[in-house]
């Protein structure tokens, strides 16, 4: 009986951790029909880490930062190894600010990139993505968050 209980607990732990991992990535769709797989940054720790120390990001990859509410969320490039494009999205998933080809920060102090409008999401992409896919302010980016995550409030 004890062995069955232990096996059941091991199975449940593995199953739950596998399920949690599935909700770490979602598909993001752009106006031109292109899609990318976005890693979700949901906690304060995940948002602080972002893409730091990674070697690269491919065109079909992204990182999507989720915030509890729309606000002015600034970003910096500390400990980054490559340039990126950054999109700030409002609660309706419309682009409200764009920063193109943001370079890594070689030394402190690192500059902050501050959007012109409040955002609920921030999407980091390969440098040159915005230009290649002709993204503009107020374009809508489509994605569906996992059910257990509540989307930030709309304005």
What the chain holds in terms of domains, given with CATH numbers, is: 25-143 (2.60.120.1140)
Separation of alpha carbons 88 and 127, rounded Å: 15
Model confidence, pTM: 0.80
pLDDT of residue 22: 52
pLDDT at 153 over 80: no
- Tens of pLDDT, residues 92-101: 999 999 999 9
Helices (H) and strands (E) in the chain, counts: 3, 9
Q: Which of 55, 64, 69, 65 is nearest to 35 (CA)?
A: 64
Separation of alpha carbons 106 and 103, rounded Å: 9
Residue 98 neighbours by CB under 8 Å, 6+ apart: 85, 86, 87, 88, 130, 135, 136, 137
């Amino acid at each position: 009986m004890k062995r069955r209980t232990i096996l059941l607990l091991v199975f449940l732990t593995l199953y739950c951790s596998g399920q949690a991992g599935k909700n770490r990535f979602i598909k993001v769709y752009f106006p031109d029909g292109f899609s990318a797989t976005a890693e979700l940054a949901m906690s304060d720790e995940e948002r602080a880490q972002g893409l730091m120390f990674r070697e690269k990001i491919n065109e079909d990859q992204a990182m999507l930062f989720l915030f509890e509410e729309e606000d002015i969320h600034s970003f910096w490039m500390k400990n980054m190894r490559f340039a990126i494009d950054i999109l700030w999205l409002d609660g309706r998933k419309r682009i409200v600010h764009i920063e193109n080809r943001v370079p890594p920060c070689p030394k402190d102090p690192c500059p902050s990139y501050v959007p012109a409008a409040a955002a609920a999401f921030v999407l980091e992409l390969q440098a040159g993505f915005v230009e290649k896919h002709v993204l503009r302010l107020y374009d809508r980016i489509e994605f569906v968050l996992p059910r257990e995550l509540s989307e930030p409030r709309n304005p």
